A and B are shown apart, each in its own frame.
Chain A
Amino acid sequence: MKVLVPVKRVLDFNLKVRVKPDGSGVDLSNLKMSINPFCEIAVEEAVRMKEGGGGHAPGAATEVVAISIGPEQAQETLRNALAIGADRGILVKVEGEVEPLAVAKLLKAVVEAENPDLVILGKQAIDDDSNQTGQMLAALLDWPQATFASKIVLGDGKATVTREVDGGLQTLDVELPAIVTTDLRLNEPRYASLPNIMKAKKKPIDVKTPADLGVDIAPRLKVLRTAEPAKRQGGVKVKTAAELVGKLKEAGVI
């Protein structure tokens, strides 16, 4: 079974987000960029399907291909996925932001060329928080989808996926090929070892362009401005529970 894992390069999750003073966007200059945490979970799951572990038999996946859509530097994100254990990478080189619909179209073209049995993606990227790409790719391919996965059990021609939903947990069977998007509790990604980081440098990365794939990536939406949210004013420290209850009464919430 071949598994394709799309990964996105985003602002490192530990860093503070600064809105540019002119409202034209978020300032990313000279800031550390990392693999989107949900994508890292997706890579880890795919690699466990190959190596065994996390409930998967060794060899359940025979090849793990990582793909990123981004600038030249997204090669680093791919190297990160290769260090976790993906076999090879594909970079679709683009400049600037690409909307989820265009990403899904690029991925569809790659899926049609690579013929994976399973595509595992992060449920959302922590920069635009869209939570769209996996579902859109499923629609474009007419494949079934299991989003927000906290457990994947591979079966004969199907996957049984447990999903984190608002009321609790829901389990689905999806026929393969299928799309799965990851939630936080699916696994804890490993720290890549130094030998694996070194090995990853030698793994192949194939570079393509949207034109190679015949996809128009022109944006559909216009971002008029970017602003900081209104700051919530911090309040007061109270000394005792009695004083707190008094304040809550004054505020009319109890």
Chain B
Amino acid sequence: MAVLVVAEHDNASVKDATKKLVTAAKAMSGEVDVLVAGANASGAVHAAAKIAGVRKVLHADGATLAKQMAEPMEALITPLMANYEAVLLPATTTGKNAAPRIAAKLDVMQISGVIGVESADTFVRPIYAGNALITVKDEQAKKVLTVQATAFKAAGDGGGASVETVAAPGGPFKSAFVSEEMAKSDRPELTAAKRVVSGGRAMGSAEEFHRVLDPLADKLGAAVGASRAAVDAGYAPNDYQVGQTGKVVAPELYVAIGISGAIQHLAGMKDSKVIVAINKDEEAPIFQIADFGLVGDYKALVPELMAELTKAGV
């Protein structure tokens, strides 16, 4: 049985999530193809063809796919499923938007946010914000999965997959792209960053949030994240949110500053390798999962930390 991985990409190259999904797919099947759907995406196609273990790259290119919106993605992928037993999409906002539309058209139940592949038809996924894990058997003829990329290791390079062109859907569609406001940042992307520095409600304002976190993030080469409380209060934009309903991250180093550690936040970062918590409340739940806890006022401790990092040559 062949498995199709839908690439997460920016047209120029594939995101790390794509390589992680290939690893998940290889645990299901020896025949793994990657679909690159975009506009002028030949850069991403070349990158996908180099991923080790990929049999074939399907390249669909056209204006209707420029924003990978749900309607055209469904119109593209549903017919392709005649050749595949399973399709894996990343559990990103793009994948979560399109996948159930495909599943419903195929009349199958989808499995969301897969973090483990036990066999070709048995998967592990979190429920209740990661407070419980269920093992699910899917015996449907076609399977539609969204996959939490951080749970898998990235497949290496060194592959030489063939490329096949498939037609982009023509439309018309009942939804139309109007505009976007994308965060511009020189920092690494939150879900792919090796280090993440996150702030919580304790920051008190957007100015303070950036005054405290930005220099530390720059020093560590880290991405900046935020708790839901900080995003709800307007201190940080929505795309910073780490947690059950935001992004799931698993960096080597996660530094939580002024974050109490609500369950829904922990669900988004508890798989980080090393967690540091700085909080003035020594009873804060974040300390129960932090590897290293520093109790005190971040206003004093973050500058001290910056100075110590400088001394240590960071």
Instruction: Spell out A's residues near B (CB within 8 Å).
Output: 11, 16-17, 19, 26, 99-101, 104, 123-124, 126-140, 143-148, 150, 160, 163-175, 178, 183-185, 219-229, 232, 234-242, 244-245, 247-249, 251, 253-254
**Is B295's CB within 8 Å of the partner chain A?**
yes
Least CB distance, B65 to chain A, in whole angstroms: 15
Cβ-closest 7 pairs across A and B? A235-B291, A135-B100, A144-B174, A139-B104, A241-B304, A220-B109, A136-B104
Least CB distance, B122 to chain A, in whole angstroms: 7
Residue of A nearest to B113 (CB): A129
If A104-B104, A172-B69, A253-B252 touch, does A248 touch B276 (CB 8 Å cutoff)? Answer: yes
Contact indicator B308/A242 (Cβ below 8 Å): yes
Residue of B nearest to A133 (CB): B100
A228 to B135 CA separation, bound complex (whole angstroms):
11
Residue of B nearest to A254 (CB): B314
A-B contact pairs, 26 of them (CB 8 A): A11-B128, A16-B131, A17-B129, A19-B131, A101-B103, A101-B108, A126-B129, A126-B244, A132-B99, A135-B104, A139-B100, A148-B97, A166-B239, A166-B247, A168-B180, A168-B239, A169-B180, A169-B181, A174-B175, A175-B174, A185-B238, A221-B109, A229-B130, A242-B304, A245-B311, A254-B312
Least CB distance, A58 to chain B, in whole angstroms: 26
Residue from A124, A184, A247 in contact with B292 in the complex, judged by beta carbons closer than 8 Å? A247
Contact indicator B176/A172 (Cβ below 8 Å): yes
Residue of A nearest to B71 (CB): A144
Contact indicator A235/B70 (Cβ below 8 Å): no
Least CB distance, B296 to chain A, in whole angstroms: 9
If A101-B104, A254-B309 touch, does A129 touch B129 (CB 8 Å cutoff)? Answer: yes
Contact indicator A144/B175 (Cβ below 8 Å): yes
A19 to B70 CA separation, bound complex (whole angstroms):
35
Contact indicator A167/B183 (Cβ below 8 Å): yes
Q: Which residues of A contact B195 (CB under 8 A)?
A: 253
Contact flags B265-294 to A (C-beta < 8 A → 1, else 0):
000001001111000001000011111111
Residue from B127, B133, B183, B275 in contact with A128 in the complex, judged by beta carbons closer than 8 Å? B127
A221 to B136 CA separation, bound complex (whole angstroms):
7
Contact indicator B176/A147 (Cβ below 8 Å): no
**Is B220's CB within 8 Å of the partner chain A?**
yes
Contact indicator A139/B128 (Cβ below 8 Å): no
Interface residues on B, range: 35 or more
If A220-B108, A240-B304, A253-B273 touch, does A172 touch B292 (CB 8 Å cutoff)? Answer: no
A210 to B290 CA separation, bound complex (whole angstroms):
47
Instruction: Spell out B's residues near A (CB within 8 Å).
Output: 67, 69-71, 74, 92-94, 96-105, 107-113, 122, 126-140, 173-183, 191, 195, 220, 228, 231-232, 237-239, 244-245, 247, 252-253, 270, 273-276, 282, 287-295, 301, 304-305, 307-309, 311-312, 314
If A129-B244, A132-B112 touch, does A225 touch B100 (CB 8 Å cutoff)? Answer: no
Contact indicator A234/B239 (Cβ below 8 Å): no
Least CB distance, A145 to chain B, in whole angstroms: 6
Contact indicator A237/B132 (Cβ below 8 Å): no
Residue from B128, B228, B231, B295 in contact with A237 in the complex, judged by beta carbons closer than 8 Å? B295
Taking each of A137, A139, A220, which has the highest tally of chain B beta carbons within 10 Å of its own beta carbon?
A: A139
A229 to B228 CA separation, bound complex (whole angstroms):
22
If A131-B96, A131-B112, A173-B176 touch, does A237 touch B101 (CB 8 Å cutoff)? Answer: no
Q: Which residues of A contact B92 (CB under 8 A)?
A: 166
Contact indicator A26/B292 (Cβ below 8 Å): no
Q: Which residues of A contact B109 (CB under 8 A)?
A: 99-101, 219-221
Contact indicator B177/A170 (Cβ below 8 Å): yes
